[in-house]
Structure 1
Amino acid sequence: MTDTQQRYPFPALEHLPDDIRDTILAVQEKSGFVPNVFLQLARRPAEWRAFFAYHDALMLREDSSLSKAEREMIITVISAQNQCLYCVMAHGALLRIFKRDPLIADQVAINYRSAALSPRERAMLDFATRVNEASHTISDTDFEHLRAHGFDDEDIWDIASITGLFGLSNRIVAFTGMEPNPEFYLMGRQPRKKPAEA
């Protein structure tokens, strides 16, 4: 086994509980493929449900002032810090799509401090980085700095929680040896082709 070889085989779709199988098939219908993380976590159905319930509560929350692009930016940056290729490629692809910028994911994954970001985005990522790498050093000064950039306490909770959830995800991906789906590499880099007219 190489260091990057998948260590846990994916379960067969037909052996999964109905709710998980139906969700995976719906994702496949929408995106054209099944992201490997859906299959990898499905080997433990209770954990799959818990992970995606928390994921959806954070990432699909409609009353958050964080944009979809900002949420994906957090994940891309902390996944790069944690050296998680799967999450950088998967969430970098979503970042490119939501931001409508084919360059942004690569820039923030390599060094967000040199990317063309707004002061708000930079403050958000500075905080996410602190939570990811040294959460025990968070102080009231960090909160004051974020508030000066328009974040309220609920936004700060979102930034920290997204960072925490994907820190967990990064570590599961690492020990399982999960690789990114090839489709992630090109998503959002080129304009989508329109279907041929009949």
Structure 2
Amino acid sequence: MSYLADPPESDPDVELLYAADRHRLGYVANYTRALAWRPSAVAAWAALNGAIKSTMDLRRYELATLAAARRLGSRYCSLAHGAVLREHFYDAETVTRIAGDHATAGLSPADAAVMDFAERVAGDPNGITAAEVEVLRGHGLSDPEILDVALTAAARCFFSTVIAAVGARPDPAYETALEPDLRRALTGSLD
């Protein structure tokens, strides 16, 4: 569901996008329905996002993405990436703590610094200083790894902005896939 009408499923490119979602998710995501009007843009986004993720540890990617999504106020992306963290890396209580205050959630200092940096990239990229980059180096991140975090957060800015602008609503599947307390933690302050 979004502000846009669904494109015609009879379009072969739209049909392919929908089939890919059904195969991967079991349903067509609301963001896919909205973006399917421009399949080439969806393909370009998938290629960019895939290139960014390909050089990163998935857990770090998801932590950085969640931090950027929360900073941007994106309910959809917060739910989606909180769900990945819940499914693959942490229990519900831990993801709830991460969403509430990652600095006190029991993450490693490096992971907390990554989330801090991703928030800054999403909220005030022009204010980032060399000292903030040095903090990441101090936690053992290489320059390419720091760039990965910046790319992750900046890409989330693009995607979250587009889906918000067209009114893509979080998929109903998050209502059943995530525990109520976790859903509230991921979206509560974003309502």
> What's the TM-score once normalised by structure 2's chain length?
0.84
Deviation, structure 1 residue 94: 0.9
Q: Render the CA deviation track for 1:76-122: whole Å, top value 9, x for unaligned.
A: 12211211111111111111112142233333333222322111111
**Alpha-carbon distance between aligned partners in 2 of 1:110 and 1:10, rounded to the nearest angstrom:** 35
Number of residue-to-residue matches in the alignment: 179
Residue identity matched to 2:143: D
Alpha carbons 1:95, 1:104 under 8 Å: kept: no
Aligned partner of 2:82 among 47, 72, 92: 92
RMSD between aligned residues: 2.0
Q: Report the equivalent of 1:22.
A: 16
Distance, in Å, in 2 between the alignment partners of 1:131 and 1:70 is 15
Residue 23 of structure 1: how far off its partner (Å): 4.6
> What does the per-residue CA deviation read over 1:135-186, in whole Å, with 9 as the maximum and x for residues that have no partner?
1122222222111111111111110011001111111122111111111234
Match of 1:123 among 113, 117, 121: 113
Is the Cα contact below 8 Å between 1:97 and 1:187 reproduced in 2?
no
Note the 1:65-104 alignment, pairs <5 A.
66-104=56-94
Query: C-alpha deviations, 1:36-56, integer Å up to 9, x for none?
Result: 222221111221121111111
Residues 2 and 30 in structure 2, CA contact (< 8 A), matched pair in contact too = no
Map Cα deviations across residues 55-92 of structure 1 (whole Å, 9 max, x no partner).
11112x0xx3x321221111112211211111111111
Question: Is residue 51 of structure 2 the alignment partner of residue 51 of structure 1?
Answer: no
Which letter does structure 2 place at the counterpart of 1:92? G
Given residue 151 of structure 1, which amino acid in structure 2 is its aligned partner? L
CA distance in 2, matches of 1:49, 1:180: 21
User: How many angstroms apart in 2 are the aligned matches of 1:167 and 1:183?
Assistant: 23
- Partner amino acid, structure 2, of 1:47: A
Equivalent-residue separation in structure 2 for 1:75 and 1:185 (angstroms): 20
**Pairing 1:30-179 to 2, within 5 Å after superposition:** 30-59=24-53, 61=54, 64=55, 66-179=56-169
Cα–Cα, structure 1 residues 58 and 13, in superposed 2: closer, same or farther, change >3 Å?
Answer: farther
> Counterparts of 2:107 and 2:88 in 1: how far apart (Å)?
15
Q: Which residue of 2 aligns with 1:9?
A: 5
Distance 1:186 1:157 in 2: 35
* Equivalent pair of 1:123/1:146 in contact (CA under 8 Å): yes
Residue identity opposite 1:29 in structure 2: H
Structure 1-normalised TM-score?
A: 0.81
Alpha-carbon distance in structure 1 between the residues aligned to 2:100 and 2:168 = 21
Deviation at 1:188, TM superposition (A): 6.2
